Structure 1
């Protein structure tokens, strides 16, 4: 059995200069925390990395609004937070199953794809070991350089300013000082231009929270779902099952849902080795690969779900109860929120004909956008180097290239690296290997910093490298 989890509240990182502050604590930075913890456990105390993580949410959570009953993962459980880097890690999905007494039961299902609810529970189980290192309910308000000398001297330390995420009246938290930051703030929901969220107009990321708030009978007994990707199809299916007396109108500009390409050769684009190949490719080849293989991930739907929805539409035609309507090759040209619902207008792209829809709610499954890492960097953003298209120059180790003045490390994970590292950047597929690469980069640059300090004639004495609590499983 594993040792007890560390349940120490939101934690208070040790004072002094940390080796790493991770901004955001989703799966990417959780995988990094595990990689660091495993290094620390195998190293002498003075060789450990001292880290802390800052998260806006009050607890660990991963797409809670889309934890739909029965919805399964689109990636194998073997692409968990550790297995492809360290198959014997106690943080593997298989170890999680054993600890919860479900290993044999899961094997008997004969599937590689757990439900999203179960995988979310696995992630939360891993995150519990890092409670003492994670400051929840807090957001980063800015990152500023701390020069070694007054003026424009070299910058080896960064200061991360923090504030309460949901308590505007509360004082700001004590800033953290660190030699490296990891920007892992995830994705932000995207709505079409001109559309504003409201009580009856939602992005699909809020689906479960919003539908649970619907009490009493529906006035119009109708929902509209905008989008043609996996989330849109899942939302349409969920609403159709959860509200048996309501009609669900799926609105999208395509003629039909497009199946995801999950064939074995195409799936090799998600292999860790593919990141190396993509990173070293010419720019035009990178653009081509993203275009060719976008149908492995973007605006596509699992084939089984497409067939299930089609069967539903057909059976309703047989019985004469058309509750699931597919309004294909169409667009929503207007939405007006009212006290008891939404007045929407659908226009056919084929004929130009319009149809009014009175809905109890309109759900936009219109994707996400990547946050620009420079939003938090302030003046530090001017020290970050860009390519000919104004995009950040990011090294293979996910470290942002900076001017020679900035010697502190600024790392980034997620969709902001898709142009440099490929289509897996915002996915789970390579988290295990990537976290080890980033950890090794932190160690390498730490060793280089130690060499510089040894060569400095009158440098300050080195700080003690006490290691924060990190991981208690054995």
Structure 2
């Protein structure tokens, strides 16, 4: 099982007596789980072990558990798992998971590249247990300090303060739910990422009407789920487009997610990068799988025929106001081309309005580099995902996510975890491997080769 490190003993000045690790990963979702696997496989084939530990604010491993809607499927192939694209013989592949679960031939007969999200989550849990990394769950990394020859990471576990020491840091703090400006979360207004849990906590059990804000895959899935789960309730989907846009998962467009596309993107001029993002935005942003679009339209049309409307899609529209009342939310929806307004009393408003990346200034403090342009020589991130800090440091900080401006669309997606994690491990290994002896009688005592 995954271990949870004991709190380290303290010296007289309150500092931790933990040994200095080669790597501390901050955050332990799929990205740093992939890193733990890459480290495990590196250590199994190299004499010099890379030591590592991870801190994760959640009490246990989980990947958007509040959005594990029954029947929803992955939007990427199972072949883009945590290991296969880097090491096809890895014991941590999705296929090996199926084999160990006794479901491999059943999955083959299923004839799909896209497992359900629930099954993929079970695969991630299996991999987390199998790799057996050192993880401090329920622990928040509050600040990183440069100590010269290492970093000090301040942590908080239920008010108990401690520290870790590391020569390198890999930040994979994940994404934070983003609500529209002026919206304050409540028991009846919430982001979709905790949908299943927040629905369980709704004050009323007699649900009559919901509003879903957003035009992407998650928004469409939420609208479909609410319509099926509450058979007497109306569901009002609201977004600025006229309708849901289909995601582009065609073979040529998917080349934007190939590992080689990261090299192309990183080495391109800034203006070309922007064009490539615009060209292929429909592969990832505000895009919905076509079968789900067709299913929702079919439902809406059938209800029109039967004159029994429950699903309403408000295109070219927006929510003007959403105010909590004693027993619900008073919502005003505006049709933007005409200015026509409709007012509803609803049980809840679900905002499928995206995420914001990790707050780097908060955790890095003075180390944070304010330059975020990604322009040429001023790029804030190296090709090996090394973050260029405001001051030069002996150790290095790496990013898993938040590098879309320099590395392209795969920055925060599952598609490239296996390759990206391997590249980060290779970069760290090059830095901590002693240089080879080149002169007779020369014996190096250096533990690190700095780059």
Q: Same fold by TM-score, threshold 0.5 exceeded?
A: yes
Aligned to 1:207: 195
Q: CA deviation at 1:261?
A: 0.6
Is the contact between residue 144 and residue 151 of structure 2 (CA under 8 Å) also seen in structure 1? yes
Matches of 1:391 and 1:65, distance apart in 2:
39
Compare 386-395 and 230-239 and name the one that shifted more: 386-395
Compare 245-254 and 404-413 and name the one that shifted more: 404-413
Deviations 1:170-210 (A, max 9, x none): 3213x111100001111111111111110100100110001
The reply on whether 1:430 has 2:416 as its aligned counterpart is yes
> What are the residue-to-residue correspondences of 1:185-334 with 2, within 5 Å?
185-214=173-202, 217-218=205-206, 221-334=208-321
Q: CA deviation at 1:445?
A: 1.1
CA RMSD of aligned residues (A): 2.5
**Structure with higher RCO (Cα < 8 A, 6+ apart):** 1
The reply on whether 1:115 has 2:116 as its aligned counterpart is yes
Q: CA deviation at 1:40?
A: 0.7
Aligned to 2:382: 395
Is the contact between residue 201 and residue 363 of structure 1 (CA under 8 Å) also seen in structure 2? yes
Matches of 1:86 and 1:318, distance apart in 2:
53
**Which of 150, 155, 159 does residue 157 from structure 1 map onto?**
150
Aligned to 2:441: none
The reply on whether 1:354 has 2:334 as its aligned counterpart is no
Aligned length: 437
Mark the runs of 5 or more structure 2 residues left unpaired by the alignment. Answer: 9-16, 439-443
Matches of 2:275 and 2:370, distance apart in 1:
30
Q: CA deviation at 1:405?
A: 3.6
The reply on whether 1:144 has 2:145 as its aligned counterpart is yes
Matches of 2:66 and 2:358, distance apart in 1:
20
Mark the runs of 5 or more structure 1 residues left unpaired by the alignment. Answer: 1-5, 148-155, 455-459, 465-474
Q: CA deviation at 1:403?
A: 6.3
Matches of 2:139 and 2:4, distance apart in 1:
13
Q: CA deviation at 1:129?
A: 3.2
Is the contact between residue 40 and residue 131 of structure 2 (CA under 8 Å) also seen in structure 1? no
Change (3 A) 1:390 1:188: farther
TM, length-normalised to structure 2: 0.92
Aligned to 2:34: 31
Q: CA deviation at 1:215?
A: 6.4
Matches of 2:138 and 2:85, distance apart in 1:
31
Matches of 1:265 and 1:388, distance apart in 2:
27
Is the contact between residue 318 and residue 334 of structure 2 (CA under 8 Å) also seen in structure 1? yes
Is the contact between residue 3 and residue 135 of structure 2 (CA under 8 Å) also seen in structure 1? no
Q: CA deviation at 1:462?
A: 6.7
Aligned to 1:381: 368
Change (3 A) 1:345 1:385: closer
Helix, strand or coil at the partner of 1:179: strand
Q: CA deviation at 1:387?
A: 5.0
